Amino acid sequence: MKNPWYFVPRTKVGERVKKYQLFKLDTFELKRVINHNFSVVQMNSNFIEFTNKNYVWKGKNLIFLFLFLFAIPYVLLVLFGSYFILKDGVEDEKIVIYSGAILLMAGGLYIFFTMLIPFLKFDFLKSLYLPVLIHRHKKKMTVCFDGNSTTQFSLDDLYFDIVQSQGVVGLPLYELHAYILDGEVIKHDIQLGTPNIHKDYIEGFLLFIKTYVEQGPEPLYYRKGIDDPEQDYKSKLTYCYDIQEKKESIKQSWQTVFINHFQTPLYALIFAVPEFVRFFGRRITVVFSKPFYWSEALKREHAVDENDPYSVTAKDNLKFGFLSVKEKQHE
Protein backbone atom coordinates (compact mmCIF):
# COMPACT_ATOMS: atom_id res chain seq x y z
CA MET A 1 0.00 0.00 0.00
CA LYS A 2 1.37 3.38 -0.96
CA ASN A 3 2.09 5.64 1.98
CA PRO A 4 -0.78 8.19 1.93
CA TRP A 5 1.46 10.89 3.39
CA TYR A 6 3.99 10.73 0.57
CA PHE A 7 3.53 13.67 -1.76
CA VAL A 8 5.45 14.32 -4.97
CA PRO A 9 7.54 17.43 -4.21
CA ARG A 10 6.43 20.64 -5.83
CA THR A 11 9.92 20.92 -7.30
CA LYS A 12 9.27 17.88 -9.49
CA VAL A 13 8.78 19.16 -13.01
CA GLY A 14 6.57 17.58 -15.66
CA GLU A 15 7.67 14.94 -18.14
CA ARG A 16 7.83 17.26 -21.13
CA VAL A 17 10.59 19.82 -20.87
CA LYS A 18 9.08 22.02 -23.59
CA LYS A 19 6.61 23.31 -20.99
CA TYR A 20 9.48 24.98 -19.12
CA GLN A 21 11.97 27.69 -19.93
CA LEU A 22 15.39 26.17 -20.50
CA PHE A 23 18.77 27.80 -20.07
CA LYS A 24 21.56 26.05 -21.92
CA LEU A 25 24.84 27.01 -20.31
CA ASP A 26 26.44 28.48 -23.44
CA THR A 27 23.37 30.59 -24.35
CA PHE A 28 22.44 31.98 -20.94
CA GLU A 29 22.62 35.73 -21.38
CA LEU A 30 20.36 37.24 -18.70
CA LYS A 31 21.84 40.44 -17.29
CA ARG A 32 21.87 39.56 -13.60
CA VAL A 33 24.24 40.16 -10.72
CA ILE A 34 26.43 37.17 -9.91
CA ASN A 35 25.27 35.47 -6.71
CA HIS A 36 26.85 32.44 -5.01
CA ASN A 37 23.51 32.10 -3.15
CA PHE A 38 25.18 30.53 -0.09
CA SER A 39 25.44 27.21 -1.93
CA VAL A 40 29.19 26.50 -2.06
CA VAL A 41 31.45 24.18 -0.04
CA GLN A 42 34.73 24.98 -1.81
CA MET A 43 36.16 26.49 -4.98
CA ASN A 44 39.56 26.26 -6.65
CA SER A 45 41.08 26.45 -10.12
CA ASN A 46 39.99 22.91 -11.00
CA PHE A 47 36.51 22.45 -9.59
CA ILE A 48 33.74 23.92 -7.49
CA GLU A 49 31.62 22.00 -4.98
CA PHE A 50 27.97 22.76 -4.22
CA THR A 51 25.38 21.62 -1.72
CA ASN A 52 21.70 21.17 -2.55
CA LYS A 53 18.29 21.66 -0.95
CA ASN A 54 18.53 18.43 1.06
CA TYR A 55 21.42 19.88 3.07
CA VAL A 56 20.05 23.33 3.79
CA TRP A 57 16.62 21.93 4.70
CA LYS A 58 18.05 19.37 7.10
CA GLY A 59 15.96 19.35 10.29
CA LYS A 60 12.78 20.94 8.90
CA ASN A 61 10.91 17.64 8.73
CA LEU A 62 11.72 16.97 12.37
CA ILE A 63 10.06 20.25 13.38
CA PHE A 64 6.86 19.20 11.60
CA LEU A 65 6.98 15.97 13.56
CA PHE A 66 7.37 17.80 16.87
CA LEU A 67 4.50 20.14 16.05
CA PHE A 68 2.30 17.17 15.24
CA LEU A 69 3.15 15.47 18.54
CA PHE A 70 2.23 18.65 20.40
CA ALA A 71 -1.03 18.88 18.45
CA ILE A 72 -2.34 15.48 19.62
CA PRO A 73 -2.46 16.25 23.38
CA TYR A 74 -3.88 19.70 22.62
CA VAL A 75 -6.79 18.23 20.67
CA LEU A 76 -7.37 15.61 23.36
CA LEU A 77 -7.40 18.34 26.00
CA VAL A 78 -10.04 20.26 24.08
CA LEU A 79 -12.08 17.10 23.59
CA PHE A 80 -12.07 16.10 27.24
CA GLY A 81 -12.69 19.69 28.27
CA SER A 82 -15.81 19.64 26.15
CA TYR A 83 -16.86 16.45 27.88
CA PHE A 84 -16.65 17.95 31.37
CA ILE A 85 -18.64 20.95 30.20
CA LEU A 86 -21.37 18.76 28.72
CA LYS A 87 -21.33 15.86 31.18
CA ASP A 88 -24.57 16.96 32.85
CA GLY A 89 -26.40 16.89 29.55
CA VAL A 90 -27.47 13.89 27.47
CA GLU A 91 -26.76 10.54 29.14
CA ASP A 92 -24.94 9.02 26.18
CA GLU A 93 -22.50 11.91 25.77
CA LYS A 94 -19.81 10.07 27.76
CA ILE A 95 -19.84 7.24 25.24
CA VAL A 96 -19.65 9.70 22.35
CA ILE A 97 -16.79 11.61 23.92
CA TYR A 98 -14.71 8.54 24.79
CA SER A 99 -15.37 6.97 21.40
CA GLY A 100 -14.26 10.16 19.72
CA ALA A 101 -11.12 10.27 21.84
CA ILE A 102 -10.22 6.69 20.96
CA LEU A 103 -10.77 7.31 17.26
CA LEU A 104 -8.71 10.49 17.46
CA MET A 105 -5.82 8.73 19.17
CA ALA A 106 -5.95 5.82 16.70
CA GLY A 107 -5.98 8.23 13.77
CA GLY A 108 -3.18 10.26 15.32
CA LEU A 109 -1.00 7.19 15.78
CA TYR A 110 -1.66 6.12 12.19
CA ILE A 111 -0.65 9.53 10.86
CA PHE A 112 2.34 9.63 13.20
CA PHE A 113 3.82 6.33 12.01
CA THR A 114 3.11 6.93 8.32
CA MET A 115 4.83 10.32 8.58
CA LEU A 116 7.65 9.03 10.79
CA ILE A 117 8.87 6.45 8.27
CA PRO A 118 9.66 8.94 5.47
CA PHE A 119 11.13 11.39 8.01
CA LEU A 120 13.56 8.74 9.23
CA LYS A 121 14.25 7.69 5.66
CA PHE A 122 15.08 11.14 4.32
CA ASP A 123 16.56 12.98 7.32
CA PHE A 124 18.23 10.36 9.52
CA LEU A 125 21.08 7.88 9.15
CA LYS A 126 22.07 9.47 5.83
CA SER A 127 25.06 11.50 4.76
CA LEU A 128 24.90 15.09 5.97
CA TYR A 129 25.12 16.24 2.37
CA LEU A 130 25.85 14.84 -1.09
CA PRO A 131 28.19 17.04 -3.15
CA VAL A 132 27.64 18.22 -6.69
CA LEU A 133 30.99 18.99 -8.34
CA ILE A 134 31.70 20.92 -11.52
CA HIS A 135 35.15 20.38 -13.04
CA ARG A 136 35.71 23.27 -15.40
CA HIS A 137 38.70 21.84 -17.32
CA LYS A 138 36.99 18.52 -18.02
CA LYS A 139 33.59 20.22 -18.49
CA LYS A 140 32.01 17.59 -16.24
CA MET A 141 29.41 17.65 -13.49
CA THR A 142 29.78 14.89 -10.88
CA VAL A 143 26.79 14.07 -8.70
CA CYS A 144 27.54 12.06 -5.54
CA PHE A 145 25.22 9.54 -3.89
CA ASP A 146 25.25 7.49 -0.70
CA GLY A 147 27.88 4.75 -0.68
CA ASN A 148 30.38 6.91 -2.59
CA SER A 149 28.71 6.12 -5.91
CA THR A 150 28.86 8.94 -8.43
CA THR A 151 27.40 9.82 -11.81
CA GLN A 152 29.11 12.13 -14.29
CA PHE A 153 27.49 14.31 -16.91
CA SER A 154 29.02 16.43 -19.63
CA LEU A 155 28.22 20.12 -19.18
CA ASP A 156 27.48 20.31 -22.89
CA ASP A 157 24.60 17.85 -22.35
CA LEU A 158 23.01 19.72 -19.45
CA TYR A 159 20.05 22.07 -19.65
CA PHE A 160 19.45 24.43 -16.74
CA ASP A 161 15.99 25.38 -15.56
CA ILE A 162 14.68 27.67 -12.83
CA VAL A 163 11.80 25.83 -11.19
CA GLN A 164 9.19 27.35 -8.93
CA SER A 165 8.42 25.28 -5.85
CA GLN A 166 6.72 25.96 -2.54
CA GLY A 167 8.23 26.62 0.86
CA VAL A 168 7.09 25.17 4.16
CA VAL A 169 4.76 28.10 4.86
CA GLY A 170 3.38 28.30 1.34
CA LEU A 171 5.71 31.02 0.06
CA PRO A 172 6.92 30.53 -3.52
CA LEU A 173 10.52 29.40 -3.86
CA TYR A 174 12.79 29.15 -6.87
CA GLU A 175 15.35 26.41 -7.41
CA LEU A 176 18.06 25.74 -9.95
CA HIS A 177 17.80 22.37 -11.69
CA ALA A 178 19.99 20.72 -14.31
CA TYR A 179 18.48 18.20 -16.74
CA ILE A 180 19.72 15.42 -18.92
CA LEU A 181 17.17 14.88 -21.65
CA ASP A 182 16.08 11.89 -23.67
CA GLY A 183 14.34 13.68 -26.49
CA GLU A 184 11.82 15.84 -24.66
CA VAL A 185 11.66 13.63 -21.58
CA ILE A 186 13.75 14.38 -18.47
CA LYS A 187 16.13 11.47 -17.88
CA HIS A 188 18.02 13.00 -14.92
CA ASP A 189 16.90 15.86 -12.69
CA ILE A 190 19.66 17.40 -10.52
CA GLN A 191 18.82 20.12 -8.00
CA LEU A 192 21.65 22.58 -7.33
CA GLY A 193 22.24 24.93 -4.44
CA THR A 194 19.88 26.65 -2.04
CA PRO A 195 16.28 27.57 -2.96
CA ASN A 196 15.44 31.25 -2.68
CA ILE A 197 12.30 33.37 -2.66
CA HIS A 198 13.89 35.70 -5.22
CA LYS A 199 14.09 34.37 -8.76
CA ASP A 200 16.83 36.83 -9.71
CA TYR A 201 19.07 35.35 -6.99
CA ILE A 202 18.74 31.95 -8.65
CA GLU A 203 19.46 33.50 -12.02
CA GLY A 204 22.51 35.08 -10.40
CA PHE A 205 23.52 31.66 -9.10
CA LEU A 206 23.36 30.23 -12.61
CA LEU A 207 25.43 33.18 -13.79
CA PHE A 208 27.93 32.32 -11.01
CA ILE A 209 28.27 28.80 -12.44
CA LYS A 210 28.51 30.11 -15.99
CA THR A 211 31.24 32.59 -14.98
CA TYR A 212 33.25 29.88 -13.21
CA VAL A 213 33.08 27.49 -16.17
CA GLU A 214 33.88 30.08 -18.82
CA GLN A 215 36.30 32.41 -16.99
CA GLY A 216 37.59 30.40 -14.04
CA PRO A 217 37.63 31.35 -10.34
CA GLU A 218 39.44 34.68 -10.61
CA PRO A 219 36.32 36.89 -11.14
CA LEU A 220 34.66 35.14 -8.17
CA TYR A 221 37.62 35.34 -5.77
CA TYR A 222 37.31 37.88 -2.95
CA ARG A 223 40.37 40.15 -2.81
CA LYS A 224 40.96 41.30 0.75
CA GLY A 225 41.55 45.02 1.03
CA ILE A 226 40.35 45.59 -2.55
CA ASP A 227 36.78 44.34 -2.77
CA ASP A 228 34.07 45.86 -0.59
CA PRO A 229 32.53 43.26 1.76
CA GLU A 230 29.22 45.16 1.96
CA GLN A 231 28.92 45.49 -1.81
CA ASP A 232 30.62 42.37 -3.16
CA TYR A 233 29.58 39.66 -0.71
CA LYS A 234 27.19 38.11 -3.27
CA SER A 235 29.21 38.41 -6.47
CA LYS A 236 32.43 37.18 -4.82
CA LEU A 237 32.66 33.84 -3.03
CA THR A 238 32.59 35.06 0.58
CA TYR A 239 30.96 32.10 2.35
CA CYS A 240 31.55 28.33 2.20
CA TYR A 241 30.09 25.58 4.38
CA ASP A 242 32.56 23.95 6.76
CA ILE A 243 31.46 20.33 6.16
CA GLN A 244 34.30 18.72 4.22
CA GLU A 245 34.48 15.12 5.44
CA LYS A 246 33.11 16.02 8.89
CA LYS A 247 29.86 16.79 10.66
CA GLU A 248 28.96 20.41 10.94
CA SER A 249 29.64 22.14 14.24
CA ILE A 250 27.00 23.81 16.41
CA LYS A 251 28.19 27.15 15.02
CA GLN A 252 27.83 25.87 11.46
CA SER A 253 24.31 24.59 12.19
CA TRP A 254 23.37 28.01 13.52
CA GLN A 255 24.84 29.75 10.48
CA THR A 256 23.22 27.31 8.06
CA VAL A 257 19.77 28.02 9.48
CA PHE A 258 20.11 31.80 9.36
CA ILE A 259 22.68 32.63 6.67
CA ASN A 260 20.16 32.22 3.84
CA HIS A 261 18.06 35.03 5.35
CA PHE A 262 20.97 37.44 5.14
CA GLN A 263 19.82 38.59 1.71
CA THR A 264 16.24 39.02 2.96
CA PRO A 265 16.40 40.74 6.39
CA LEU A 266 12.62 41.23 6.57
CA TYR A 267 12.06 37.48 6.34
CA ALA A 268 14.80 36.96 8.91
CA LEU A 269 12.69 38.92 11.39
CA ILE A 270 9.40 37.27 10.42
CA PHE A 271 10.76 33.72 10.67
CA ALA A 272 13.16 34.26 13.57
CA VAL A 273 11.17 32.14 16.03
CA PRO A 274 10.46 29.10 13.77
CA GLU A 275 14.03 29.16 12.48
CA PHE A 276 15.31 29.26 16.05
CA VAL A 277 13.23 26.14 16.75
CA ARG A 278 14.53 24.53 13.55
CA PHE A 279 18.08 24.98 14.81
CA PHE A 280 17.39 22.43 17.54
CA GLY A 281 15.75 20.08 15.05
CA ARG A 282 18.77 20.41 12.82
CA ARG A 283 21.16 19.57 15.63
CA ILE A 284 19.23 16.38 16.42
CA THR A 285 19.30 15.46 12.74
CA VAL A 286 23.04 16.12 12.48
CA VAL A 287 23.71 13.78 15.42
CA PHE A 288 22.09 10.90 13.50
CA SER A 289 23.66 11.85 10.17
CA LYS A 290 27.12 10.92 8.98
CA PRO A 291 29.77 12.96 7.16
CA PHE A 292 30.30 12.45 3.45
CA TYR A 293 33.76 11.00 2.84
CA TRP A 294 35.33 11.32 -0.56
CA SER A 295 36.42 8.11 -2.25
CA GLU A 296 40.03 7.81 -3.41
CA ALA A 297 38.87 7.94 -7.03
CA LEU A 298 36.96 11.16 -6.34
CA LYS A 299 40.00 12.69 -4.64
CA ARG A 300 42.27 11.79 -7.55
CA GLU A 301 39.92 13.23 -10.13
CA HIS A 302 39.28 16.41 -8.12
CA ALA A 303 42.73 17.15 -6.78
CA VAL A 304 43.47 20.53 -5.21
CA ASP A 305 46.82 22.22 -5.78
CA GLU A 306 48.30 23.25 -2.42
CA ASN A 307 49.57 26.46 -4.01
CA ASP A 308 46.36 27.31 -5.82
CA PRO A 309 45.94 31.10 -5.37
CA TYR A 310 42.16 30.85 -5.93
CA SER A 311 41.39 28.08 -3.46
CA VAL A 312 38.46 29.16 -1.26
CA THR A 313 37.09 27.16 1.69
CA ALA A 314 35.27 27.95 4.95
CA LYS A 315 38.49 29.27 6.50
CA ASP A 316 38.23 32.23 4.08
CA ASN A 317 34.69 33.19 5.07
CA LEU A 318 33.90 36.79 5.78
CA LYS A 319 32.17 37.59 9.05
CA PHE A 320 28.41 37.70 8.55
CA GLY A 321 26.44 39.44 11.28
CA PHE A 322 22.84 40.61 11.41
CA LEU A 323 22.42 42.87 8.37
CA SER A 324 26.19 43.40 8.03
CA VAL A 325 29.22 41.66 6.58
CA LYS A 326 32.89 42.46 7.07
CA GLU A 327 36.34 40.94 6.95
CA LYS A 328 37.48 39.02 9.99
CA GLN A 329 39.45 41.05 12.51
CA HIS A 330 42.49 38.78 12.58
CA GLU A 331 42.87 39.06 8.84
Q: Does the residue 9 lie in any domain?
A: no
29 located within any domain: yes
pLDDT of 60: 75
**pLDDT tier, 18 (very low <50, low <70, confident <90, very high otherwise):** very low
Distance separating alpha carbons of residues 150 and 286, to the nearest angstrom: 23
CA distance 77 to 83: 10
Pair 160, 206 in one domain: yes
Region of poorest pLDDT, from 106-120, 187-201, 272-286: 106-120
Q: Return the percent helix, strand and coil in the chain, to nearest 5.
A: 45, 20, 35
> Which of 103, 122, 141 lies at the terminal end of a domain, its last residue?
122
Q: Does residue 23 fall inside a structural domain?
A: yes
289 and 249 in a common domain: yes
In a domain? residue 3: no
Per-residue pLDDT tens for 189-222?
899 999 988 888 898 999 899 899 989 999 999 9
pLDDT in tens, 303-321: 999 899 999 999 999 998 7
CA-nearest of 66, 85, 102 to 281 is 66
Does residue 325 lie in a domain region? no
**pLDDT value at 301 more than 70:** yes
179 plus 309 within the same structural domain: yes
Residues 50 and 68 both lie in one domain: no
Q: How many structural domains comprise the chain?
A: 2
Q: Is 295 inside any structural domain? A: yes
In this predicted structure, the answer to whether residue 7 has a pLDDT above a threshold of 50 is no
> Residue 266 pLDDT > 80, yes or no?
no
From 19-33, 213-227, 251-265, the region with the lowest mean pLDDT:
19-33
Query: What percent of the chain is predicted at pLDDT more than 70?
Result: 67
Residue 275's domain spans which residues? 18-54+131-318
Question: What confidence tens digit (pLDDT) does each residue in 45-82 have?
Answer: 999 999 999 898 887 766 655 655 555 565 565 556 55
pLDDT category at 275 given cuts 50, 70, 90 is: confident
**Confidence (pLDDT) at 11:** 36
Same domain, yes or no: 90 and 35:
no
pLDDT value at residue 78 = 56
Q: What is the pLDDT of residue 172?
A: 82
Q: Of 122, 143, 165, which residue is a domain's last?
A: 122
- Alpha-carbon span 281 to 283, nearest angstrom: 5
Q: Nearest 5°: CA angle at 182, between 177 and 185?
A: 65
Q: Give the pLDDT confidence score for residue 248 in this predicted structure.
A: 93
d(CA 257, CA 281): 10
- Do 213 and 101 belong to one domain? no
Angstrom distances, CA of residue 92 to CA of 86, 88, 100, 101: 11, 10, 13, 15
Q: What is the pLDDT of residue 311?
A: 96
**Domain end marker among 94, 122, 150:** 122
> Residue 249: is its pLDDT beyond 90?
yes
pLDDT of 139 = 92
The confidence score (pLDDT) of residue 323 equals 72
Which positions ≥6 away from 29 have C-beta within 8 Å? none
Whole-Å CA distances, 55 to 253, 284, 296: 11, 14, 23
Q: Which of these, 104, 100, 108, 123, lies nearest to 67 by C-alpha position? A: 108
Asked, for residue 146, whether it belongs to a domain, the answer is yes
Examine residue 234 and state whether it is found in any structural domain, yes or no: yes
Do 70 and 46 share a structural domain? no
Q: What is the pLDDT of residues 81-99, one digit of tens each?
A: 555 555 555 455 556 666 6
Does one domain contain both 273 and 300?
yes
Bigger pLDDT: 182 vs 246: 246
The confidence score (pLDDT) of residue 121 equals: 57
For residues 228 and 2, what is the distance between their CA atoms, to the nearest angstrom? 54
The whole-number pLDDT of residue 157 equals 85
Same domain, 205 and 257: yes
- Residue 284 binned pLDDT confidence (cut-offs 50, 70, 90): confident
Range of weakest confidence among 27-41, 43-57, 133-147 = 27-41
Residue 318 has a pLDDT of 93
Burial 207-235 (b: 16+ CB within 10 A, else e): bbbbbbbeeebeebbbeeeebebeebbbb
The DSSP secondary structure of 24-48, one letter per residue, reads EGGG---------TT-EEEE-SSEE
- With vertex at residue 330, the alpha carbon angle to CA 305 and CA 324, rounded to the nearest 5 degrees, is 100
Provide mean pLDDT across the span 263-285. Answer: 78
How far apart, in Å, are the Cα atoms of 311 and each of 104, 175, 180, 314? 57, 26, 29, 10
The answer to pTM > 0.85 is no
Whether residue 241 sits in one domain with residue 97: no
Q: At what angle do helices 272-288 and 250-258 cross, to 10 degrees?
A: 140
Mean pLDDT estimate for the chain: 78
Claim to verify: residue 114 and residue 31 sit in the same structural domain: no
Q: Is 155 found in the same domain as 47? A: yes
